[in-house]
Amino acid sequence: MQLLANALIAGSLAALIAGGLALVYGVLGVFNMALGQLALTGGYIAWWLHQVAHLSLFVSVIGGLISGALMTWLTFEVFVRPFYKHHRFLPLVTTIAWSMILDGLILLVFEERPRSILSGGKSMIPIGSALISKEQCIMIILTIASLLLFAWVFHCTPFGRKLRAVVQHESAARSLGINSAVLHRVIFIVSGVFAAAGGIFIGIDQNLSPTLAFSLTIKAYAAIIAGGKGNIWGAIICAYAIALLEQLLVGIHWFGAFYVPAGYQQTVALLFIIGILLLKPSGLFRSVSRTA
């Protein structure tokens, strides 16, 4: 039961980041390799606002989300937009470069020591045989609420229909008068807000550390590749599946003889991608095909 609860917590974090990333891939067809660093930036800004500037937690979280949006907008304008029209793989290189710059900046500004947005102990709530903190409960509920809200926007509103039109046939969407350039920008920024929410999630639940960015990015990519590139719901389901496998790997007393050391948890996402691609190269769910 505790393993499932842990998987739900870790999966919610990964789903936030992977969902945004899958949307960006579906709409623009580009990979943003700096997403982990953008997530951490949101988390660190929220930490700074709460712990250093002594603003309320609510204001600090909003500040973290806004900073995530602004940083992602900057990423789009400087490292993606000038390049992706020439070749969709160019932003892969430019965002890797940006991720390395951000790694250095995060280390310089926020230093290497762990930072937690909330100080002090957390009160735990028993749910069945599992223990979950109040903050974790709130974050799981908020994540699921955000994903449901997003699902409603995506499937039931004019904005969502335009978005799906651009994903499915960009030229046809443009020929109907849909301004795909504006949608590209909006979607990229939305993915950054989701990532920043993930970073804030880490800062509240655990500790922020500059070294986390790479593993966040890898897990998100594992989820979107295994879920069928560009398939948002496939990515979200796979994010939860990877989190569950990670918890099972290190939480089970294998053959009653040994535990797998926690350090190997990170390998699950990579093994998951390789395993899925060997069995089903197009991903578990149908990819969203781009016709333009």
Partner 1 sequence: MLSLSHISLTIGEHRILSDVSCSVDKGEIVGLIGPNGSGKTTLFNVISGFLAPTHGTVHLRGLDITCSSSSRRAQMGIGRVFQNFGIFREMTLEENVLVALEALPKADRTQRGNLRKIAGETLEMVGLQSHAKQKAGSLSGGQMRLLEIARTLMSGKEVFLLDEPTAGVSPKLTQQVADLILQLKKQGKTILVVEHDLPFISHVCDRVIVMDVGRVALTGKPDEVKKSKELRELYFGADPTT
Binding residues (CB under 8 A) for partner 1: these are 158, 161-162, 164-165, 168-169, 171-181, 288, 291
**Closer CB to partner 1, 153 or 260, in the complex:** 153
**Closer CB to partner 1, 183 or 204, in the complex:** 183
| Minimum distance from residue 204 beta carbon to partner 1 (Å) | 37
Closest CA to 203 of 16, 47, 18, 5: 47
What ranges in 206-255 are assigned the alpha helix state H?
Answer: 212-226, 232-251
Give the separation between CA 196 and CA 38, rounded to whole angstroms: 6
| Minimum distance from residue 162 beta carbon to partner 1 (Å) | 6
Across the strands, what pairs with 127? 130
Judge whether 31 and 80 are in contact, CB under 8 Å.
no
Closest CA to 224 of 164, 143, 282: 282
| Minimum distance from residue 165 beta carbon to partner 1 (Å) | 5
**Closer CB to partner 1, 26 or 203, in the complex:** 26
**Closer CB to partner 1, 100 or 181, in the complex:** 181
Give the separation between CA 286 and CA 72, rounded to whole angstroms: 28
| Minimum distance from residue 26 beta carbon to partner 1 (Å) | 11
Say how far residue 115 (Cα) sits from the centre of its chain.
20
| Minimum distance from residue 176 beta carbon to partner 1 (Å) | 5
**Closer CB to partner 1, 87 or 122, in the complex:** 87
Q: Is 16 exposed, middle or buried (0-12, 13-18, 19+ CB in 10 A)?
A: buried
